[in-house]
Structure 1
Amino acid sequence: MTRGMLWLLAVACGVAVGNVYFPQAVTPLVAEGLRLPPDRAALVVTAAQIGYACGIFLLVPLGDRVPYRPLITTLFTVTGSGLAVAGFAPSFGPLFAAGVAVGVATVIAPIIGPMVAGMVAPERRGAASGTMLAGSIGGMLLARTFSGAVGEWLDWRAPYLMAAGLAFVMAVVLWRALPKTKPHTRQSYPDLLREPLRLLRNEPELRRSCFYQAMIFGAFSAVWGSVALLLTGPAYGYGAQAVGLLALVNAATMVATPVAGRIVDRYGSDPVNLVCMLAVIGSAVVLAFGATELVALVVGTLVLDVAMQSGMVANSIRMYALSDTHRGRLNTAYMTCAYVGGAVGSWLGVQAYTRYGWRGVCGLVALMAVAALARHAVAIRSRSPSRQPSPRGRS
């Protein structure tokens, strides 16, 4: 794993993940272009996340069964085709369906992550995973900024069509650059689909990582699924480009995640998880002032982004340590739970905004972080020395 290959794969993660997030910046333009209520147009974000969760469950296990090069390049090709269909969608129904299809196919980052983890030394997994996550974050941020700016300049269809072209380019580049690999297993596809469920049942540390990320990513999605409604609404009156600029301010997250990876390599996942959960609660307090203060909105989203992404590094490293040969299936269980939490959080965030305004969204963020923190407290308490059986009891 050369440094050049590592960064190429980080870019591939960013291009793939960006397809899930760029609709967040163009939902007001979709509402205007298709003459939809804003809350219904916001469902295009939920569509991508629903599709992503389904794709993780259905396709990511193939990373253990199919060589990486044909699998990744095929997924990029299908993603590009789905984005092109979305760009020409005449109404909400086809756009929603194409968004789900794109979400299903663009599950490339969860396949690249286990691949990279298997190609680097164990003591470098945290740093390498942080680099992959930095690429994904860059894709998230730039996709929102790009789609907001291009959407206002042209229309909401342009970001979909440009993203389609970029996906086709990545398919060609990776077909030429990726090394040939051998599959980890010859299990049948039905067995591969059952394996993540078995792992969830048998691995308590996997369940813990899944719950943490589902709650924190749900809080993150609640904010980013509804912030476009706030910025383009009467409180601020900005255009769709403002959502992208807000995301671009949070580019500091790209620096934070490799650092978080090195901290996890040194101190373990639990201390990083604890700090991240507390930071999400703090971000909810700051974001509450963002209903009318732009500075609070910027600071709050920055803290939230850094906390969510750093927590993802910590949870991923805990999960990868469970097995050297089941990483794809472990990642399937983990990422499916995370994106189910994200889809639910995105939907709940829009509902909270519609009924209670921006501070209702902030309350939802705090509630989800508190749930993760309570689970973490139970895990730490159960491992404390005072609760371990005595030597006599063990005998």
Structure 2
Amino acid sequence: MQNKPTLTKSLLWLITITTGIVVGNNYYNQPLLGLMAKDFQVTETAISIIAMLTQVGFAMGLLFIVPLGDMVQRKKLILSIFLLIIASLVGMVLAPNLPLLYIASFMVGFSSVVPQMLVPLTAELSTPEKRSSSIGMVMSGLLLGILLSRVAAGFIGDIWGWKAIYYIAIGCMIFLMVLLSAKLPDVHPTFKGNYRQLMHSLIHLAKTQPVLRLSAFRGALGFAGFSAFWITLVFHLEEAPFHAGSAVAGSFGLIGAVGALAASAVGKIATKVSTYNIILVSIFMLLASWIIFYFSGYTYMGLIVGVILIDLGLQSMHISNQSSFFALNIGATNRLNTVYMFSYFAGGSLGSYLASQAWKYYQWDGVVYTGLSCTLLVLIAHLWFGKKTIAK
């Protein structure tokens, strides 16, 4: 029997950095939507579809690509996916019209699923006592990548135009591909069936694992509200009283990074505080953020405090969700993560769509009501089912 590779500190850092950089591909467009709309001479509603399609693509990639990590050699699969990421990013900068940009945006999301193969890998290689803290570190890298990618895209877009960040991303993907080919360990698959059986097992896991179902529901609606905020923030800031551009919208990612870094402590306190209570406090943070956005969303201070809370709340709940179903230890980490993350980004896609419609008809107040409604549903589900499904 082959010995399992160990998760060294250097490998954990490589996984964390790779996760943060690759996930950024999905979020570069958000602070740049205004610039893209002007470049293609289309409405805000039409250009917002780009962000939605990226998230839909990501959800599809989670569903159809990530489960293969349990079936084929993971290192070879990850390196192959990097080639698809690079081709998709090239498509973004070369797209001559909006329909082709839609396709390229979908493919960027579809291919940028490597982080969701690295998170289960981290869980597998970690010792049980370090699993939560290791996942917390990787997830902090992921959320920092989401937030800081918006910062980079916003500032670079203001200076060199919206395509520049995608050229930089192409270079980063080539560099990471070379590095991972040298450093990533080989992990042999655990699933012995064919692809059809593999996909059918996703349905079986969803039916038979209540911990997974509840985690997926909380994650989906929590991320729906989160996406609703970030998709429309740039449009909100373009109007009175702010009259700000993409750089200011992107800079809010730096503020959100405070919440992401603070949430990394969740893994450390998980041994002292019950998962149920950690998630409950996280949901109340999300609710508080939407209340602040409603009453103080037309001030920079209100937005700053709300951003910290929404990022801290979502990240804390996200880490706790994943730790709870990875602890099932049933030899299906990629597939468990697939069900959860597919639901997560399906929720994000729904939130993006609802936010674009809410903005079109009701502006900022409509967005706040959308996010608040999603979060209230999360709270109800957690209070009703949480203690029945979470073991501790």
User: Which shows bigger deviation, 128-137 or 67-76?
Assistant: 67-76
Task: Report the counterpart of residue 49 of structure 1 in structure 2.
Answer: 55
Task: Report the counterpart of residue 193 of structure 1 in structure 2.
Answer: 199
Contact 2:155–2:246 at 8 Å: present in 1 too?
yes
Distance 1:380 1:332 in 2: 21
Which amino acid counterpart does residue 226 of structure 2 have in structure 1? F
Task: Report the counterpart of residue 73 of structure 2 in structure 1.
Answer: 67
Q: Quick one: percent identity of the two aligned structures?
A: 29
Distance 1:5 1:193 in 2: 30
Contact 1:126–1:265 at 8 Å: present in 2 too?
no
Which deviations, in whole Å up to 9, do the C-alpha atoms of 1:267-289 show, x marking residues without a partner? 33211110111111110011113
Give TM-score, length-normalised by structure 1: 0.94
Which amino acid counterpart does residue 24 of structure 2 have in structure 1? G
* 1:102 paired to 2:108: yes
Distance 1:329 1:383 in 2: 19
Which deviations, in whole Å up to 9, do the C-alpha atoms of 1:2-26 show, x marking residues without a partner? 1111011001101111111111110
Which deviations, in whole Å up to 9, do the C-alpha atoms of 1:143-163 show, x marking residues without a partner? 111111111111111112211
Distance 2:299 2:149 in 1: 25
* 1:126 paired to 2:132: yes
Which amino acid counterpart does residue 97 of structure 2 have in structure 1? S
Distance 1:232 1:125, change over 3 A: same
* Pick aligned residue for 1:251 from 257, 261, 264: 257
Contact 1:26–1:148 at 8 Å: present in 2 too?
yes
Task: Report the counterpart of residue 379 of structure 1 in structure 2.
Answer: 385
* 1:310 paired to 2:316: yes
Gaps of 5+ in 2: 1-6
Aligned residues between the structures = 384
Alignment of 1:94-173 (within 5 A): 94-173=100-179
Distance 2:167 2:193 in 1: 37
Which amino acid counterpart does residue 210 of structure 2 have in structure 1? P
User: After the TM superposition, which segments of 4 or more aligned residues of structure 1 sit over 4 Å from their partners?
Assistant: 380-384
Contact 1:230–1:291 at 8 Å: present in 2 too?
no
Alignment of 1:346-361 (within 5 A): 346-361=352-367
Distance 1:204 1:357 in 2: 37
Distance 1:114 1:93 in 2: 35
* 1:368 paired to 2:364: no
Task: Report the counterpart of residue 26 of structure 2 in structure 1.
Answer: 20
Contact 2:233–2:249 at 8 Å: present in 1 too?
yes
Contact 1:117–1:128 at 8 Å: present in 2 too?
yes
For residue 263 of structure 1, report the CA deviation from its aligned partner.
2.0
Contact 1:291–1:359 at 8 Å: present in 2 too?
no
Task: Report the counterpart of residue 387 of structure 1 in structure 2.
Answer: none
For residue 353 of structure 1, report the CA deviation from its aligned partner.
1.5
For residue 265 of structure 1, report the CA deviation from its aligned partner.
3.5
Gaps of 5+ in 1: 385-395
Which deviations, in whole Å up to 9, do the C-alpha atoms of 1:236-279 show, x marking residues without a partner? 11111111111112211232222011222433321111011111
The alignment's C-alpha RMSD in Å is 1.4
For residue 381 of structure 1, report the CA deviation from its aligned partner.
6.5
